[in-house]
Each structure stands twice: as structure tokens, then as C-alpha cells.
Amino acid sequence: MGELAERIARHDPAVARSEALLIQDDGKLVGIVTRGDILRALDKDSTGMIAVEEAGSTNLVVTYPDELVSDAAAKMLHREVGRLPVVERGDERKVLGYLGRSAIMAARTRRLRDEHFREPGWWGAARSRTAK
């Protein structure tokens, strides 16, 4: 745990940009650890000798690549988590990706932008008719 905290403090790009990291053992998902988990673990044991898996959560909420973004967001709200590992539907320990709040907001923003260009709304439609 201490080494991970030091890497975050040094702004190691491999770990510092994420609010959470997936914990894997031999390429299989076993948990997730957040910055908050790390801080709480260091409060309990300032030596940093607590294992990352012990500090994190192994009771995971996951999403699947074929699941709708809105369903994944609902899971996050209902279970009060800020990120979801994306796993294979047939093997929930096989990580395919990671879905956080910022990715959900980016997807929603893209969809709203696309809708705006396809359908300008009542104001754009009224302006088009008067310009003719």
C-alpha cells in the first residue's frame, strides 16, 4: 500500500490520474481501490504495510460492454459508486475496460450534441421557416 501511495504522491502517470485502480491477480479482477481507500488504510496503519487488496473493495459492482450507458449510470447511482469495471459477461473476472463518471458524462454530452445538430429544436425550426 505504501508504494502505491508514494507513486500517487509522485504523480506517476500510470496511477496518479485515476481516482481508482482495478486490482488484478494473474490478469483476473479481484477488487478495486480508490484514493479514499488508500487514505483510510494509511490512517489505520501509517507504515503502509496493508495490502492493496485489503484496503480496497472486493465486493464489486460491474458493467458489461453490451449494457446501455444509462443502465450503467443507474447502477452507479443505486450502489453509490463512482466507477465500474467493464467485464466479460461470461467471465466477470476478465477485465475489458473501466467506466467512470467522466466517461458517462462525455458520452451523454456527445449524444446531446448529436441530437442538437439533428434536431435544432423549436427555435431553430422557427428561424428556418422565417428565413425562407
Residues with Cβ within 8 Å of 92's Cβ and at least 6 positions away in sequence, in order, are 29, 60, 62
> Among 11, 41, 60, where does a domain finish?
60
Instruction: For residue 122, name the pLDDT band (cuts at 50, 70, 90).
Output: low
Please give the distance of CA 120 from its chain centroid, rounded to a whole number.
Answer: 32
Q: How far is CA 13 from CA 9, 48, 103, 131, in A?
A: 11, 21, 19, 52
- pLDDT 10s digits, 73-117: 999 999 999 999 999 999 999 999 999 988 899 888 888 888 777
In angstroms, rounded to a whole number, what is the distance separating the alpha carbons of residues 74 and 67? Answer: 11
Number of domains in the chain: 2
Coil, strand, or helix at residue 91?
A: strand
Residue 118 φ/ψ, nearest 5 degrees: -75, -40
Which residues form the domain of 45?
A: 1-60
One domain, residues 49 and 81? no
Beta bridge partners, 99, equal 84
Beta bridge partners, 115, equal none
- At residue 62, the pLDDT reads 97
Instruction: For residue 132, name the pLDDT band (cuts at 50, 70, 90).
Output: low
One domain, residues 39 and 78? no
Residues with Cβ within 8 Å of 47's Cβ and at least 6 positions away in sequence, in order, are 2
One domain, residues 123 and 74? yes
| 98, 34 Cβ separation under 8 angstroms | no
List own/partner pairs for 5-14 with CB under 8 A and 24 or more apart.
5/38, 5/42, 5/48, 8/35, 8/38
Instruction: Choose from 9-23, 39-53, 57-71, 108-122 the range with maximum mean pLDDT.
Output: 57-71
> Looking at residues 29-56, what average pLDDT do you find?
88
One domain, residues 66 and 131? yes
Q: Which of 11-20, 37-46, 105-114 has the lowest mean pLDDT?
A: 11-20
Instruction: For residue 128, name the pLDDT band (cuts at 50, 70, 90).
Output: low
